[in-house]
Each structure stands twice: as C-alpha cells, then as structure tokens.
C-alpha cells in the first residue's frame, strides 16, 4: 500500500467564502434543483428574509417586497437599514452582525452571523444596498468577492435594505424557483407575524389572526370536527382542531423558523396535549382515553419563542434546546404549564366543543380496537413475506437500520414505487444502491376511496408498502425523505399513479402535506443518430431534438419503464433525475378532490373528460401532421447531403 505523506503542507486554512463554497451543505442543507421545498435555493431566500423579519419584530418596517425573475431574487425591506459603514462586514465577514450584543435579538433565529454571508458566497452575483437617512451604500459581489464597492451617496429612498442575488448555477445545477414553494414559505412568515405584508411578484401575502388563519386556510370547514381552538400567551401560540381525515398533522415553529422536523417543543406539545385532555375527561366525565385516540386525526400548529435557541443543524429544521432560555424553565414544562391551564379552561368553558371532541375520540377508539387483531396478523404476514428480500430492494444507508433510521440517512434516501418486475428490475440495476431503494407493486392497487383504515392491513400490497416506508405509527418513522411514484407513461401507468395518490391522500395525508411525495418523470421519446442521443419528455422536446440532429433520426417512443434498459436509466436517475413534487395548495380540499376523481362518475367529471379528450386528440393530430411534414423535409435534406 502506497504511503501518504502528512506534513505541514497538508494543513490548509480556508477563508470564509471558500469554506462555504466547499461545504455548502453545512450552511444550507441539501442543494437540489428547486423541486423540493427544502432545497438550498429556498434556504437562501429564507436567510435574507429572516433579517427583514427581525426588523419587523423590532417595530421597523411592515412591508417586505420580494421579486423573483429569471432566477434572480430581489428582497427589499423597510427597516432601519444596515449601518452604512458596516455593510461590507455584515455580508462578507463570518460571525459579524448586530445580534450578539442586544437583548432585543435574543429570540431571533439567526444568531450566528452566517446566513447572509452564505447567500453571498453561493451566488454568482450578489448586491447589497442599505438606505439610512437619505444616504445609501451599495456593494456588488461575484462568488463572494467584491466586484464594486460604491461610495456612500445621497438617495430619495426610505430606510431599509435591498439584497439582490442570483444563485451560482455551478452549485445549484439546473435550479428553478417554484412559485408554490416560495408562497408556502412566505405564508408561514405571514402567519407568524400578524400585520406583516409581503408583496411577492405583485401578490400580497398577509395574516391578521396568526396560526388561526393558518389552520383555517389549510383545513376545510367541512372537514373539521369542532371550531379551531386558538390559544396564545407570552412566547407561545397554539391552534388545534380535529378533522375527518386520517393521520396527524403538525406545523411547528421556533422564533419564526419552520421546524419541519419538529424538536423538543413539538414533542412537549404532543405529550402535554394528550395528558391535558386525558385529565379533563377522566376528572369531569369519568372516562379514560388512550393518547393515540386523543391525537388521532389532529391538525395543530405551535409556535414558541426561545432565548438563544439551539438547533440540530444550520438549516434550523429541528429544535434541540431543552430550556426556553439559558436560565429558564424547560421547554417541556413551559408548554405543559400553558396547555394544562389554558386548554383545560377552554374545554370547561366550551362544553359543545368537548362533546364533539369526545365523539371523535370514541370513534377513533372503536376503529383502533376493530383493526387491532387484523393489524397483528398483517404484521406477521409482512414478516413472512420477507419484505426486504422480495418486495423491497433497500438502499445501503438503511441496512441494519430498519426501524431507527438516522435523520442524516433519511434526508439522503429515496424510494421508488414501481409496477411489475421489468420496471423494478431496470431501476434496481441502474439506481444508486447507497441512497435509492425500490419497492415493487404486484398489479393495480385497490381503489381505497371511501374505505376505512382497515383496508391498509387487509390489503397485502398496502400493508407491505406501509411497512416498507415504516409509517404505521406516524410520519416520525418514515425511512425515506423522498417517496417517488414511478409508473409507466401510459393509461395503465397513470391509473396506478392515481390509485397510489388516493392511498396516500386518504390514509397518510401528512406524507403529502410535508412534501415527501413525488412523481418520477421518465422520457417519452429517445431521438438519436450515430453520434448523439436525446431523451425527450414532451412532443416539443422531440421536435427540437430532430431539428438539432438535422438528418435521419431514429425515434423511439417508450411505452413503459421496462422498455428502458438499465444502462439508459443511468442517464436520468442520477443528478439529472426529474421529479415532480405532489403539492397541495393552501385552499385544497382533499376530500372533494378525491370525490371528484375517484368517486362516482358525475356529469361534471364526464364533461371534464370529454372536453380534455377533444383537446388531446386535436393536439395529437396536429403533432402527427407536423411529424409527417418534418420527416419529409429531413429525408430530402438527408438525400441532398448524400
């Protein structure tokens, strides 16, 4: 074995921007192309807006302007503005900022002086403009290096800060900002900062009632069992109700940061909510309820403010703090004290709400007991099915880590749900065995619209699928960050996709709401000659490929995933993978959506199908006509070339 030298020459000291660019994941999490809500380009936006939010909280500036155009982001607030003599330092010197020596910022998210510097270092162009008392300071950067440091000059603009940046395309490859993800991010800011107005590409996002508005907008009034309970106090706000859907759904925040992975505050809420409700019904109605039935179908939002919060990563998605402040009470006690007093008082003062809630708990209890025996048998069947050798080809990250998957492994992993042996075989051979798993379906899944959760355990395919994902006891056990439906791009494939979407939306809606579910986009056509090959995802791309080849081209229409060889799969299952996230808008009613597509064939749906079928036929006829015309031209050009 060759010896490796280890001398003083091996020791390197990186400057601030080199370190960020070399290890971007340490600062903004995963990179991604913008298809996922937690991809790095959205963290860049967050890091800038966080500073604007801090100004609003301090009482300076009620409006934030955000514009995104052609991949360039511009954010303008109307706070106090960065002190003009410190503009360069605040955006290019690590551990430099205004939040270290001020008690007013102790409950801010960004206390480490890193965020805006990371945005600067990871942008091919970055401009900061500070406006204070009719004077302005502007500095421009490229890849973290000063491009032009403008002198202080006069201005007519009001106080505040404007930051413009364009993410580095060499780091964020093929990135694209999705309006749905940006809007979701901005709505969270609005809900947590009542009275704030955010203007995004001329659309105003604002909230008057905080978390009450959040749950009102995210749950249809026809779905909820009782009116939303809204409680607030110093450094804490809670909104909660129960709905007709399955699953538990939580939105948790710390100092305005959306803690998508929860943490100590969310754990305290779940425990304290259940214990408070248990005590209320046991004391006042002599009934004992299980915590599982109390939380079943819950939808809740909790926001707390913690002094100098400790997060488990720079992206701040999980709270690790045990105490509200350095010398304060524990997070657990703080949340429990608030709920045990305020929630208990609410239930006493609102007996109709307590009655409706009790009926829901009893319903959940009956259903849980009904499927208890079936569940045990289903678990035994799953074990006998030798899940990890037949149905599931797991990734190496999870070997010997079946139930307690680490957060790091979970974030890095993907599972493809495929139909049939041929498709699963091709993906299995082409996948990255380190991070990508494959689950193979047998035949078409059951249409589970309108069915109870009993079907999850009595139907073998659904039972094995939930075990593969490890979501039987909630989303906390989910073993894969991305759950990808990979079906053929034909009628049967689309039907299977729809049936799987129905399954997840019906029984595990939180999987979709937390944006873990994706559709795998595979090419419809392969266009090639002896030198080049193009994989095309649409008719337009196919026509462009034919034009680029300028000659006789071999055109293959892929009818199914099984027709694509493993070697070809490798071209678009790695970093070039195309995944379409399954997104739910703020006002989407899941029950009505499923009723429309999966319920009885209504006149409205018939009309929709007929109208869209006519459009498809017309487009196909026009495309065929163009194909014939272009084929003739290309053949003539080929003859002339010969």
Q: Which helix (H) or strand (E) holds 482?
A: strand 482-486
Q: What is the DSSP string of 134-196?
A: TEEEEEEEETTEEEEEPPPEE--SPSEEEEEEEE-TTTSTT----HHHHHHHHHHHHHHSTT-
Taking residue 70's Cβ as centre, other Cβ atoms within 10 Å add up to 6
| pLDDT bracket for residue 557 (50, 70, 90) | confident
- Position of tokens 């759950």? 483
Asked if the model's pLDDT at residue 628 lies above 60, the reply is: no
| Residues 461, 472: Cα–Cα separation, whole Å | 14
**Residues spanned by CATH 3.40.50.670 within the chain?**
385-522+575-598
Secondary structure letter of residue 444 according to DSSP: P
Nearest to 127 by CA among 168, 81, 75, 171: 75
* Stronger pLDDT, 406 or 103, i.e. the higher one: 406
* Stronger pLDDT, 141 or 571, i.e. the higher one: 141
pLDDT at 614: 53
Beta strands 145-149; 153-154: pairing state: unpaired
- Helical residues (DSSP H) of 286-350, grouped into ranges: 291-295, 331-349
**First vs last C-alpha separation in the chain:** 57
Asked if the model's pLDDT at residue 638 lies above 50, the reply is: no
| Residues 301, 229: Cα–Cα separation, whole Å | 10
* Stronger pLDDT, 317 or 51, i.e. the higher one: 51
**Residues spanned by CATH 3.30.230.10 within the chain?**
211-365
pLDDT at 298: 94
CATH 3.40.50.300 given to domain 385-522+575-598: no
pLDDT at 641: 41
Q: What is the pLDDT of residues 559-604, one digit of tens each?
A: 777 778 888 887 777 767 888 888 877 666 677 777 777 777 667 7
pLDDT at 14: 64
Q: What is the pLDDT of residues 503-532, one digit of tens each?
A: 999 899 889 988 899 999 888 888 998 888
Asked if the model's pLDDT at residue 613 lies above 80, the reply is: no
Please state which of the ranges 201-205, 417-421, 478-482 shows the lowest mean pLDDT: 417-421
Give me 531's structure tokens.
Answer: 């030198």
CB contact at 8 A, 205 and 183: yes
Asked if the model's pLDDT at residue 149 lies above 60, the reply is: yes
Nearest to 138 by CA among 168, 114, 159, 162: 162
| pLDDT bracket for residue 637 (50, 70, 90) | very low
* Stronger pLDDT, 329 or 112, i.e. the higher one: 329
Mean pLDDT of the chain: 83
- Position of tokens 């990255």? 432
| pLDDT bracket for residue 539 (50, 70, 90) | confident
**Residues spanned by CATH 3.30.565.10 within the chain?**
16-206
Give the percent of the chain with pLDDT over 70: 84
pLDDT at 625: 53
* Stronger pLDDT, 448 or 311, i.e. the higher one: 448
Q: What is the DSSP string of 521-560?
A: ---SEEEE-SS-EEEESSHHHHHHHHHHHTS--EEEE--S
Asked if the model's pLDDT at residue 157 lies above 80, the reply is: yes
Q: What is the pLDDT of residues 73-105, one digit of tens each?
A: 999 999 999 999 989 988 988 755 555 455 545
Asked if the model's pLDDT at residue 548 lies above 60, the reply is: yes
Q: Which CATH class is domain 16-206?
A: alpha beta
pLDDT at 396: 83
Task: Tell me the sheet residues that pair with 232.
Answer: 237
pLDDT at 42: 94
Please state which of the ranges 117-126, 302-311, 433-442 shows the lowest mean pLDDT: 302-311
271-275 mean pLDDT: 96
Q: What is the pLDDT of residues 215-267, one digit of tens each?
A: 998 887 778 999 999 999 999 999 999 998 888 889 999 888 888 888 889 99
31-39 mean pLDDT: 84
| Residues 320, 311: Cα–Cα separation, whole Å | 5
pLDDT at 485: 94
Give the percent of the chain with pLDDT over 90: 40
| Among 85-94, 150-159, 259-268, 439-448, the range of highest mean pLDDT | 150-159
Asked if the model's pLDDT at residue 288 lies above 50, the reply is: yes
Fold classified for 211-365: Ribosomal Protein S5; domain 2 (3.30.230)
Degrees (nearest 5) of the Cα angle 76, 78, 80?
Answer: 120
pLDDT at 112: 42
């Amino acid at each position: 074995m060759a010896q490796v030298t280890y001398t003083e020459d091996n020791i390197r000291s990186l400057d601030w921007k080199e370190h960020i660019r070399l290890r971007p994941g340490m600062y903004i999490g995963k990179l991604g192309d913008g298809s996922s809500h937690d991809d790095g380009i959205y963290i860049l936006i967050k890091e800038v807006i966080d500073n604007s939010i801090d100004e609003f909280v301090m009482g300076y500036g009620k409006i934030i302007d955000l514009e995104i155009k052609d991949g360039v982001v511009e954010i303008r607030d109307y706070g106090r503005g960065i002190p003009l003599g410190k503009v360069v330092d605040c955006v290019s010197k690590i551990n430099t900022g205004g939040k270290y020596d001020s008690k007013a910022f102790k409950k801010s998210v960004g206390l480490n002086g890193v965020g805006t510097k990371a945005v600067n270092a990871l942008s091919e162009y970055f401009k900061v403009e500070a406006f204070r008392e009719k004077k302005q300071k502007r500095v421009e950067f490229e890849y973290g290096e000063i491009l032009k440091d403008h002198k202080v000059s006069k201005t007519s603009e009001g106080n505040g800060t404007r930051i413009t940046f364009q993410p580095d395309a060499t780091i964020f490859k093929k990135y694209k900002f999705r309006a749905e993800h940006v809007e979701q991010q901005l709505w969270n800011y609005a809900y947590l900062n009542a009275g704030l107005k955010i203007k995004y590409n001329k659309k105003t996002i604002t909230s008057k009632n905080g978390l009450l508005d959040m749950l009102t907008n995210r749950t249809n009034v026809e779905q909820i069992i009782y009116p939303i309970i809204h409680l607030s106090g110093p450094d804490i706000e809670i909104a909660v109700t129960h709905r007709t859907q399955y699953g538990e759904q939580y939105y948790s925040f710390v100092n305005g940061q959306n803690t998508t992975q929860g943490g100590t505050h969310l754990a305290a809420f779940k425990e304290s909510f259940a214990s408070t409700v248990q005590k209320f019904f046991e004391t006042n109605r002599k009934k004992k309820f299980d915590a599982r039935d109390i939380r079943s179908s819950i939808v809740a939002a909790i926001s707390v403010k913690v002094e100098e919060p400790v997060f488990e990563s720079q992206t701040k998605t999980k709270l690790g703090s045990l105490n509200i402040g350095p010398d304060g009470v524990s997070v657990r006690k703080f949340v429990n004290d608030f709920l045990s007093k305020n929630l208990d008082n609410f239930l006493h003062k609102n007996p109709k709400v307590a009655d409706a809630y009790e009926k829901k708990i009893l319903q959940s209890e009956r259903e849980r007991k009904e499927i208890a025996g079936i569940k045990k048998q289903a678990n035994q069947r799953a074990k006998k099915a030798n899940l990890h050798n037949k149905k599931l080809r797991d990734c190496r990250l999870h070997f010997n880590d079946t139930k307690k998957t680490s957060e790091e492994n979970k974030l890095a992993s993907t599972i493809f749900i495929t139909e049939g042996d041929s498709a699963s075989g091709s993906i299995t051979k082409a996948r990255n065995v380190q991070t990508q798993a494959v689950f193979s379906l047998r035949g078409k899944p059951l249409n589970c619209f309108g069915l109870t959760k009993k079907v999850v355990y009595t139907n073998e395919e659904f039972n094995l699928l939930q075990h593969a994902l490890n979501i039987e006891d909630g989303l906390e056990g989910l073993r894969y960050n991305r759950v990808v439906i990979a079906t053929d791009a034909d009628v049967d494939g689309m039907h299977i996709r729809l049936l799987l979407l129905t399954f997840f939306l019906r029984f595990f809606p939180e999987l979709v709401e937390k944006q873990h579910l994706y559709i795998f986009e595979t090419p419809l056509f392969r266009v090639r000659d002896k030198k080049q090959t193009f994989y095309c995802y649409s008719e337009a791309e196919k026509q462009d490929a034919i034009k680029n080849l300028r000659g006789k081209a071999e055109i293959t229409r892929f009818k199914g995933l099984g027709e694509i060889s493993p070697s070809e799969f490798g071209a678009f299952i790695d970093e070039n993978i195309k995944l379409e996230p399954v997104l739910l808008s703020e006002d989407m009613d899941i029950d009505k959506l499923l009723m429309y597509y999966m319920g009885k064939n209504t006149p409205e749906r018939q009309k929709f199908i007929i109208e869209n079928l006519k459009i498809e036929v017309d487009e196909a006829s026009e495309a065929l006509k163009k194909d014939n015309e272009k084929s003739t031209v290309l053949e003539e050009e080929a003859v002339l070339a010969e």
